[in-house]
Homo-oligomer: A and B are copies of this chain.
Amino acid sequence: MSRRDMLRLAGIGVGGLLLGAGGVGGLLAAEAEAPSKAGAVSRDDLVPYYGQHQAGIATPPQDFIVFAAMDLTTSSLADVRELFQAWTEAAAAMAAGEMLGEKNTTLNVPPSDTGEAAGLTPSRTTITFGIGASFFDSRFGLASKRPQSFQDLPAFGGDELRPEWSGGDIGIQACANDLQIAFHAIRNLARIARGKAVLRWTQEGFQRTGGADPTGATPRNLLGFKDGTANPNTSDADLMKDVVWAQHADGAEWMTDGSYMVVRRIRMRVEVWDRSTLGDQEATFGRHRDSGAPLGGKREHDEVDLNKKDDKGNPVIPIDSHVALARGDGSIKILRRSYSYSSGMDTKTGQLDAGLLFVCYNRNLSKQFIPMQRRMGESDRLNEYIVHTGSAIFACFPGVSKGGYIGQTLF
């Protein structure tokens, strides 16, 4: 049976974007296990939890994220193991749209599920776990297992990092097409961790809701520009091995098929941006706002040609534009999975606290994210309009099959 036939059998078009990290086998297996909640669960609605990779990385982005960083309050590795076992079970249930624990009608104990997602469809929920660089300090005796490339990030130009949005022993990315479901996931995982770990920081994020753009075009960020055009093709397995998935050859065997996540809370100075001219804005991004095409181009996916010159011999795409610096010589790629955020106002400045919760995955921080961000931190024109207020990195484990638990390759 061909892949195409299997997809057809599963009721999904080949062009469908809903396979998730588990691939076809994982999907079919997960479907067989999925609850048949009164017919409410459509195949489109469920991202398989189990698979070679954790879901939520190569999975096409959902509409919402609630990100949480946690700190361990235990120094027992056995506790950590138990925590991840409980989390794995809970995350699998939530990805399937199930309530946590047994259905509870006993009045004299707290409910096993906080209930706000009761009756809702799975809504493409994914929950992705990683551990921070601080996890490899002396507490758990695992310092020798730290991957060589997994070091605290250096300071970058444009950083004004604040502790309340930085770091963490553990990072959890909960994504879903419903914000209430993503919130429910983080809240219940924090609840399960009681006595072993506490929340350090959280951040909600959104993209335009799927239904608001039936064409499925590239979403726009809060500066009004399309964001994510240049992302690598997640269905190209060789490219994903090259760009995203840690490999056996990389040295840290427990991370094979995992990926390194970077989270940056980037405030946009929207009030300043809104006073700048369209010409300045387009020169800053190196793209046309309306079409998303590189300057001088017509269509969003036109090639970014940094050698193109205008009549006077100047580059059509400024060399310090965002697209020019992000691209560089084209040799470095990362998988972006960012969300916009709006978190009320900064009471100090009276300006909106809104911007980008930048999330990316890559195979090797030292060779990918760090050199790219260094280049941009130094000279990106966009730096006039943004400030990095939070930062964290996490080593996201490989996926598990049913019966296993996230982190078992390390713990």
Q: Report yes or no: B115 in contact with A352, Cβ–Cβ below 8 A.
A: no
Which B residues are in CB contact (< 8 Å) with A191?
271, 274
Q: Which of B210, B219, B350 is within 8 Å of A199, CB to CB?
A: B350
Complex interface residues of chain A between 87 and 113 (CB less than 8 A to chain B): 104-111, 113
Q: Report yes or no: B270 in contact with A208, Cβ–Cβ below 8 A.
A: no
A378 CB-CB contact with B under 8 Å: no
The closest CB in chain B to the CB of A125 belongs to B212
Q: Report yes or no: B278 in contact with A110, Cβ–Cβ below 8 A.
A: yes
Q: Report yes or no: B115 in contact with A224, Cβ–Cβ below 8 A.
A: yes
- Oligomer copy total: 2
Which B residues are in CB contact (< 8 Å) with A281?
111
Which B residues are in CB contact (< 8 Å) with A320?
none
- Contact mask for chain A residues 236-250; partner B; CB cutoff 8 A; 1 contact, 0 none: 000000000000000
Which B residues are in CB contact (< 8 Å) with A350?
198-199
Which B residues are in CB contact (< 8 Å) with A344?
201-204, 343
Q: Report yes or no: B213 in contact with A279, Cβ–Cβ below 8 A.
A: no
A273–B209 Cα distance when bound, in Å, is 31
Question: 17 A-B Cβ contacts within 8 A?
Answer: A109-B277, A114-B223, A114-B270, A177-B212, A178-B209, A179-B179, A180-B206, A181-B212, A183-B342, A183-B354, A187-B274, A190-B352, A191-B274, A199-B350, A202-B342, A202-B345, A343-B343
A338 CB-CB contact with B under 8 Å: no
* Segment at the interface with B among A9-17, A116-124, A396-404: A116-124
A109-B277, A278-B111 as given contacts; A211 in contact with B121, CB under 8 Å: yes
A330 CB-CB contact with B under 8 Å: no
> Which 8 interchain pairs have the tightest Cβ spacing?
A115-B224, A107-B279, A178-B212, A178-B209, A120-B212, A180-B208, A179-B206, A123-B212
